[in-house]
Structure 1
Amino acid sequence: MSNPYVPLLFFLLIGGGFAVFSVGIAPLTGPRRYNRAKLDAYECGIEPSPQASGGGRVPIKYFLIAMLFVIFDVEALFLYPFAVAFGQLGLFALLAMVLFLLNAFFIADAYVWRRGGLDWD
């Protein structure tokens, strides 16, 4: 009788080997045509405006807003399993979800808003 985790281990080894091979072979096979456009800061295909002081760097505000959006999406993603199994969960799960919503959506977002994370300069 074989171990049931052997296929999983085999899959992980193949996936890890492919990742290491891909990263290792890319510098050897890829083109090496560097120019000014490839070395400049990139933001949605357009020049950032206003131009940041210190040369071409994108303000961190863009990335903070993007991360807040991703976190909000992940918070919303947690609602789907609850909605699917709502009938079988009972009152305890409803109270747990209310606490999650209070914390995740209202308290955390109010904290970010109060700290100025949603102010667009």
Structure 2
Amino acid sequence: MGGVRGTTDVHLAAGYFHAYTVVGLVAVVGVLFVAVAFAAGHLLRPVVPTREKMLTYECGVDPVGEGWAQTQIRYYVYSFLYVIFAVDAIYLFPWATVFAAPGFGGTTLVEMFIFIGFLAVGLLYAWKKGVLEWT
């Protein structure tokens, strides 16, 4: 009996490691593809350095004056609110699938109401501070 069981275990282990071999091979091919693309770009691009090409360039604005500029803090607040609601959307999809599974309905419903409560408090705080107005 021990020989048959040992043979089955060896076949299961071989199939298990074969799956990881395929994943590893795909990862190696992906890394090689990126390396070849970067090498080809380096070899094929023209190299003609000029004074204009060596200047710092960002967003279509020529570098004039100092490198320090003030920005409005509300842009950071808007990006922060976007991140909050993007995380909310990402959390809703797995929640919906777990909620449909038998035995998880009540627990996941309470967890979701707690999560949405935190988001509502954050949105209420932003609204009270006047962050959501474009004036």
Pick the TM interval, shorter chain. 0.5 to 0.7
Percent of residue pairs identical: 24
Is the contact made by 2:99 and 2:105 (CA closer than 8 Å) also made in structure 1?
Answer: yes
Q: 1:108 to 1:18 in 2, by over 3 A?
A: farther
* Residue aligning to 2:66: 54
Larger radius of gyration: 2
Pick 1 or 2: higher relative contact order, CA cutoff 8 A, min separation 6.
1
Q: Which has the higher helix share?
A: 2
Q: 1:120 to 1:90 in 2, by over 3 A?
A: same
Q: Which residue identity does 1:79 align to in structure 2?
A: L
Is the contact made by 1:40 and 1:56 (CA closer than 8 Å) also made in structure 2?
Answer: no
- How many Å separate the matches in 2 of 1:54 and 1:117? 30
Give the unaligned 5+ runs of structure 1. Answer: 48-52
- How many Å separate the matches in 1 of 2:130 and 2:35? 41
* Residue aligning to 2:27: 12
Q: Which residue identity does 2:29 align to in structure 1?
A: I
Q: CA deviation at 1:67?
A: 5.5
Number of aligned residue pairs: 111
**1:77 matches 2:94:** no
- How many Å separate the matches in 2 of 1:120 and 1:54? 29
Q: Which residue identity does 2:99 align to in structure 1?
A: F
**1:106 matches 2:123:** no
Give the unaligned 5+ runs of structure 2. Answer: 1-13
- How many Å separate the matches in 2 of 1:68 and 1:13? 38
RMSD: 4.0
Q: 1:24 to 1:57 in 2, by over 3 A?
A: farther
- How many Å separate the matches in 1 of 2:31 and 2:76? 30
- How many Å separate the matches in 2 of 1:98 and 1:41? 44
Is the contact made by 1:64 and 1:117 (CA closer than 8 Å) also made in structure 2?
Answer: yes
Over residues 23-44 of structure 1, what are the superposed CA-to-partner deviations in whole Å (9 max), with x where a residue is unaligned?
34333323456746x94221xx
Structure 2 SS opposite 1:5:
helix
Q: 1:26 to 1:73 in 2, by over 3 A?
A: same
Q: Which residue identity does 1:92 align to in structure 2?
A: T
* Residue aligning to 2:58: 41
